[in-house]
Amino acid sequence: MAIQILMPALSPTMTDGKLSKWLKAEGDTVASGDLLAEIETDKATMEVEAVDEGILGKIIVPEGTEGVLVNAPIAIILEEGESAADIDDVAAAPAPAPQPATEAAPAQATAAPATAPVASEADYDGPMVNITVREALRDAMAEEMRADENVFLIGEEVAQYQGAYKISQGLLDEFGDKRVIDTPITEIGFTGLSVGAAFSGLKPIVEFMTFNFSMQAIDHIINSAAKTLYMSGGQMGCPIVFRGANGAASRVGAQHSQCYASWYAHCPGLKVVAPWSAVDAKGLLKASIRDPNPVIFLENEILYGASFDVPDDPDFTVPIGKAKIERAGADVTIVAFSIMVGKALEAAELLAAEGIEAEVINLRTLRPLDTETIVNSVKKTNRLVSVEEGWPVAGMGAEMAAIMMEQAFDYLDAPVVRVCGEDIPMPYAANLEALSLPKPDGIAAAAKSVCYR
């Protein structure tokens, strides 16, 4: 029987890619292991090998097609004795079950961006543009680099390769290699160097391929960037942004999958920002680059491809230190940041179906925290659920609970509940990984419990 060739997933987080080139033509004989096509993702170009033997009967997706979804049929291979007439049967057959590689990605992780509501800023009435978080980050950097020649981007793979996650696409072409700078694998080196450049009046944007690698350089972030203005009696400031993917990605294992929010939020002298939407990403990154203090900018790999409507205005920024009520509600307050905002909004939908109106607060900034917005919300709802992907011990949820004790104790009708990642290193096994992260139903259950329902 004729066999469909499906668009393969070349990485755990890949949702679609470009079929850049066919290496076989219709009618060619194909042996197992033959190279069939070249596929391009946001990260890499890779070759696809044939698994089965036969004749390339039909090319369904022509070369040059972009946005080919993972698992979409791209070609048909005919077995010996079959003819092109057999092809229609195959095409009409129901789509096969997903390949193991895509099962590995937690379903809700990729679904979240698609179902996430569009964010918009209440005080903006200009034109909007629909862009991904990835594009928002790139646009924010490009706009600030155009506006201020002291701003530059530095990190591993940021220039020639345009970013390990393709955040810096086009920046090398526009700004040249003096301002978009590839480094050797030297986190201490390029972080410390950038801190020194910031001490000298430049405004570096340091990209960590992921925040896991910031651990190599954390001494420079905390002991040097965060403390030198203080220790020099106000003489030597450090206008710098440390940005990159933070938190659980997908199928990258314990050492490449963890949330640094509470690590950095703990430290005086730093500002810590965690965007969720493309609005957050663009507005907060622009504000972070303009800020005269060191800013930790925690992105999320899974959100990079999510699209949102964003104000189309280079003057639009989102203030650091202000939370945003993404959804108003009177029954329970859910605070979240980064990817968990989307989960919390999904949970709010589940709760609404049961007659519970949740107020979802996107924290946006973790230091300094907008306690006023949180406390005011709890004064209304009398209940708080804190959601984070990271570990519970000494996490952001612990801080939320403490704030409630200190500033809203008399307003609480139920104990604060924390929804966190499991207190373990991230499992690599797909089923265990999915189990260890907060999900909308768990958040909804926590919200119901504080509503005594």
Partner 1 sequence: MTKVCEFEIHYTRFLDSEGHIASPLPLFADDSNALKALYRWMVLTRSFDARAVALQRTGRLGTFASSLGQEAVSVGAAAAMNDDDVLVPSFREQGALIVRGVPYKQQFLYWGGDERGSVYENNCQDFPNSIPVGSHAPHAAGAAMAMKLRGEKRAVLCLFGDGATSKGDVYEAMNIAGIWKLPVVFVINNNQWAISISRDKQTAAETLAQKAIAVGIGGEQVDGNDVIAVRHVVGKALERARSGKGPHLVEALTYRLTDHTTADDASRYRDENTVAAHWKEDPVARLRTYLNENAGWGKNDEEHLLETAAAEIEEAAQAYLNEPPQPPQSMFDFLFATVPPELSRQRDEVIRRVAEGGDNG
| Bridge partners (DSSP) listed for residue 76 | 4, 58
Lookup: tokens for 270: 């730093």
CB of 281 to partner 1, least distance (A): 22
Query: Annotated catalytic residue: which of 256, 359, 388, 433?
Result: 256
Nearest to partner 1 of 126, 201 (CB atom)? 201
User: Among candidates 66, 124, 149, 176, which has minimal Cα distance to 318?
Assistant: 124
Residues contacting partner 1: total by CB under 8 A:
45
| Residues 390, 257: Cα–Cα separation, whole Å | 10
Which residues inside 267-306 make contact with partner 1, applying CB under 8 A?
A: 268-269, 271, 291-293
265 near partner 1 (CB under 8 A): no
Residue 305 DSSP one-character state: T
Nearest to partner 1 of 94, 184 (CB atom)? 184
What are the Cα distances from residue 204, in Å, to 130, 150, 314, 362, 403?
Answer: 28, 8, 20, 27, 34
Judge whether 187 counts as a catalytic residue.
yes
176 near partner 1 (CB under 8 A): no
Lookup: tokens for 453: 């329902």
117 near partner 1 (CB under 8 A): no
CB of 149 to partner 1, least distance (A): 9
Which residues inside 303-322 make contact with partner 1, applying CB under 8 A?
A: 321
| Parallel/antiparallel/unpaired status of strands 365-367 and 180-182 | unpaired
Residue type, 196: G
State the Cα angle at 337 between 259 and 125, rounded to 5°: 140
User: Among candidates 177, 16, 2, 8, which has minimal Cα distance to 82?
Assistant: 2
Among 35, 85, 147, 188, interactor with partner 1 by CB under 8 A: 188
User: Among candidates 157, 156, 158, which has minimal Cα distance to 145?
Assistant: 158
- Three-class DSSP category at 69: strand
Nearest to partner 1 of 74, 195 (CB atom)? 195
Judge whether 220 counts as a catalytic residue.
no
CB of 335 to partner 1, least distance (A): 17
Helix (H) or strand (E) holding 138: helix 133-147
- Three-class DSSP category at 54: strand
174 near partner 1 (CB under 8 A): no
96 near partner 1 (CB under 8 A): no
| Site track for partner 1 across 150-169, x = CB under 8 A | --x-----------------
146 near partner 1 (CB under 8 A): no
| Residues 314, 439: Cα–Cα separation, whole Å | 35
**Among 106-114, 230-238, 246-254, 345-353, the segment contacting partner 1 (CB under 8 A):** 230-238
Among 13, 41, 168, 194, interactor with partner 1 by CB under 8 A: 194
Query: Annotated catalytic residue: which of 82, 144, 187, 301?
Result: 187
Nearest to partner 1 of 160, 200 (CB atom)? 200
CB of 260 to partner 1, least distance (A): 20
Among 186, 406, 424, 431, interactor with partner 1 by CB under 8 A: 186
| Residues 281, 164: Cα–Cα separation, whole Å | 18
Nearest to partner 1 of 190, 260 (CB atom)? 190
Lookup: tokens for 382: 């009398």
Note if the bond before 368 is cis, omega within 30 degrees. yes
Among 303, 369, 408, 426, interactor with partner 1 by CB under 8 A: 369
Among 110, 191, 214, 373, interactor with partner 1 by CB under 8 A: 191
Helix (H) or strand (E) holding 22: strand 16-22
User: Among candidates 99, 102, 133, which has minimal Cα distance to 14?
Assistant: 102
Summarize as ranges the residues that interact with partner 1 (CB under 8 A). 152, 178-179, 183-184, 186, 188-202, 219-220, 223-224, 228-237, 268-269, 271, 291-293, 321, 368-369, 371
Q: Which residues are catalytic?
A: 187, 256
